[in-house]
Amino acid sequence: MRDSWLTLVDRVLRPSRPHIERCVRERDHHLAARRAIAEERARKIADCERRIESARAEVFAANDGVVSSRMTALEREWRTLSRPDPDAGLMDLWARIAPASWIDRKRWHDSDPAARLDAAIALAADASGVETAESAIDALRLALAPWGTPLGSQIRWRAFDRDREIVVPLLADPARAACEAVTSPAVLERARLLECDVREAAQARFPERPSLVRDIAHAAFVDCVWHAAPRQAPFAGRLNPVAPLRDLWKTGYVLSAIDVSSVTIEIA
């Protein structure tokens, strides 16, 4: 068990992204195309503004208070040209790099606008890992339900926000029940030693993420105790809630936030 946990620690925050080279090439083409579009748009806006100024001069020269339909049309044209594309052409890129089954789900959309392009590239480059991570969240939701711990149904993907402890409180009830069900002090001691080893390995891997370190180490402790607990109430028929967390971490992704409506996965 110790070796498998140490191997897992080495995979956390390291998604495989097998398609990253293709996605980066598409990103470069996308950025070049957006630059060309922006230059053409700026040229058209400048030309429209010159025509507006000319039309205004004509209105002032006539001094009759009449605003011509041409002036109204020019102002409408300017508003259309000045209106920004909310997705900056990102949907076209997404259609080229993401699996066809993803086209109606813009996984990058929950990221901050400035981070959406990078989010789209990171997610599309690791389609299999992303889907496995989402399946792990579904399994975690199922495993925690008997303990009265709800997880929101919506899955969001966002870049790193801040280091926060999530798993420790999430596993509070099953951890307490597992510890109460185990009668051998040796089991708890073995679990504590595993927790210590995993904590040391995680601290060496990502020392700037103390909350994530505690989450993973605590999960190792709970996993060890859970496997030693007798298969009777309250464990009969219940799933080990650490198993889906392990599946999530193996993909390289981690939980970023949870609430009653959604679960946020960090785009490592």
Q: What is the pLDDT of residues 30-61, one digit of tens each?
A: 999 989 988 888 898 888 888 888 888 777 77
CA dist 145 → 75, 165, 181, 218 (Å): 57, 20, 20, 20
Residue ranges of domains in the chain: 2-16+127-267, 20-124
Q: What is the pLDDT of residues 2-31, one digit of tens each?
A: 899 999 999 999 999 999 999 999 999 999
Rg of the chain over all Cα atoms, to the nearest angstrom: 27
Say if residue 174 is preceded by a cis peptide, omega within 30 of 0. Answer: no
CA dist 207 → 82, 200, 211, 254 (Å): 46, 10, 10, 16
Q: What is the pLDDT of residues 172-226, one digit of tens each?
A: 999 999 998 888 899 999 999 999 999 999 999 999 999 999 999 999 999 999 9
Nearest to 33 by CA among 117, 110, 113: 117
Q: What is the pLDDT of residues 231-257, one digit of tens each?
A: 776 777 789 999 999 999 999 999 999
For residue 160, pLDDT over 70 is answered with yes
Cβ-proximal residues to 49 (8 Å cutoff; 6+ apart), any chain = 78
| pLDDT, position 231 | 72
For residue 66, pLDDT over 80 is answered with no
Q: What is the pLDDT of residues 105-136, one digit of tens each?
A: 999 999 998 899 999 999 999 999 999 999 99
pTM, entire model: 0.85
| pLDDT, position 244 | 98
| pLDDT, position 86 | 66
Residue percentage of the chain with pLDDT more than 70: 97
